């Protein structure tokens, strides 16, 4: 029986998940098709209902539904509950269960590709959306010394901090308004800067969301944006002598964790990386955003 998984989001033109998920499924000769399910907000409830079909293994969830999908599911795991965002749905045959693999994807890329151990370190997070929630939850679990969240909309950063305060245990956690003085106050002692805003993405706003004159050579600058592969922030950080990590490894690791939940098989990471890089290059060549 042919089975299905897919990605739910809107508008979804930029998703690389179909390319690397399908490559992994084909590599393992699984009879599963990974589809693109563009879903505007008003269609989300109906879309989620279709996941209950016995032929559907589950779905990835991306912008803008990671938070709003939660009440439509039967269960969410403790981590997704703490983060307040679901990026993976599993249909176990009886229930739709929500998980968050962004946290594991972010932490794995940070440690394995960034060579960075966050325990005891001071971190600045730009942005306060679903990705920032996953990042902050992971950093707090790893016993980071301090996390400062700076977002254009301060109320959203305040909400993130309130929601995750209970997981902070000994870490400083605070929200700051998006203004030069805030950046200047925290960047001097920062070991790791993480961009969790969409600024820098092709077709969104290609400027750096962070004042680049404050970047120091001792920092790791980690941009979750993966398209383009080198953002304005990354290029500026490199120029200032900082180490740099882009969003592609996290994207592949979070997708690999979803793949393993749906199929019960070990994800072929090399195959996924190669397909993701190929899809990214094709998108860049087309000038697609």
How far, in Å, CA of 194 to CA of 125, rounded?
Answer: 5
41-70 residues in contact with ligand NDP (CB under 6 A) are 63-64
By CB under 6 A, name the one of 34, 84, 102, 136 that touches ligand NDP: 102
b/e map of 162-191 (b: 16 or more CB within 10 Å)? eebeeebeebebebbebeeebbeebbeebb
What are the two backbone dihedrals, phi and then psi, of residue 112, each rounded to the nearest 5 degrees? Answer: -80, -40
Could you tell me how many residues of this chain bind ligand NDP (CB under 6 A)?
28
Which residue's CB is nearer to ligand NDP, number 32 or number 251?
251
Q: Which residues are catalytic?
A: 66
Extract the tokens encoding 5.
């998984």
By the rule CB under 6 A, 250 interacts with ligand NDP: yes
By the rule CB under 6 A, 127 interacts with ligand NDP: yes
Under 8 Å between Cβ of 260 and 101: no
Residue 171's region, left for phi above 0, alpha for psi from -120 to 50, else beta, is: beta
By the rule CB under 6 A, 198 interacts with ligand NDP: yes
- Cis peptide leading into 89, omega within 30 of 0? no
Q: Which of 62, 35, 67, 28 is nearest to 51 (CA)?
A: 35
Q: Please state the closest distance from residue 225 (CB atom) to ligand NDP, in A.
A: 5
214-233 residues in contact with ligand NDP (CB under 6 A) are 224-226
By CB under 6 A, name the one of 149, 196, 219, 272 that touches ligand NDP: 196
Which residue's CB is nearer to ligand NDP, number 187 or number 196?
196
- Interface residues with ligand NDP (CB under 6 A)? 63-64, 102, 105, 127-132, 151-153, 156, 196-199, 201, 205, 209, 224-226, 247, 250-251, 254
């Amino acid at each position: 029986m042919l089975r299905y998984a897919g990605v739910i989001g809107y508008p979804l033109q930029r998703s690389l998940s179909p390319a690397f998920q399908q490559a992994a499924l084909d590599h393992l000769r699984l009879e599963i098709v990974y589809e693109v399910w563009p879903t505007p907000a008003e269609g989300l409830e109906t879309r989620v209902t279709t996941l209950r079909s016995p032929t559907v293994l589950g779905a990835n969830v991306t912008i803008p539904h990671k938070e709003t999908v939660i009440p439509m599911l039967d269960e969410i795991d403790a981590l997704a509950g703490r983060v307040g965002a679901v990026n993976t749905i599993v249909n176990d045959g009886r229930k739709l269960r929500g998980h968050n693999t962004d946290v594991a994807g972010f932490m794995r890329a940070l440690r394995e590709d960034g060579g960075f151990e966050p325990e005891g370190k001071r971190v600045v997070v730009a942005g306060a959306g679903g990705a920032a929630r996953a990042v902050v939850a992971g950093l707090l679990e790893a016993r980071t010394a301090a996390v400062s969240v700076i977002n254009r909309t301060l109320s959203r950063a305040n909400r993130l901090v309130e929601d995750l305060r209970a997981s902070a245990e000994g870490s400083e956690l605070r929200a700051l308004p998006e203004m030069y003085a805030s950046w200047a106050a925290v960047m001097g002692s920062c070991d790791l800067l993480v961009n969790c805003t969409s600024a820098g993405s092709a077709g969104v706003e290609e400027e750096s969301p962070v004042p680049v004159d404050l970047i120091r050579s001792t920092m790791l600058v980690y941009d979750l944006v993966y398209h383009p592969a080198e953002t304005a922030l990354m290029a500026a950080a490199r120029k200032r002598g900082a180490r740099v990590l882009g969003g592609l490894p996290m994207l592949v690791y979070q997708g690999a964790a979803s793949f393993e939940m749906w199929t019960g098989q070990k994800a072929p990471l090399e195959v996924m990386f190669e397909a993701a890089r190929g899809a990214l290059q094709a998108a860049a060549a087309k000038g697609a955003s």
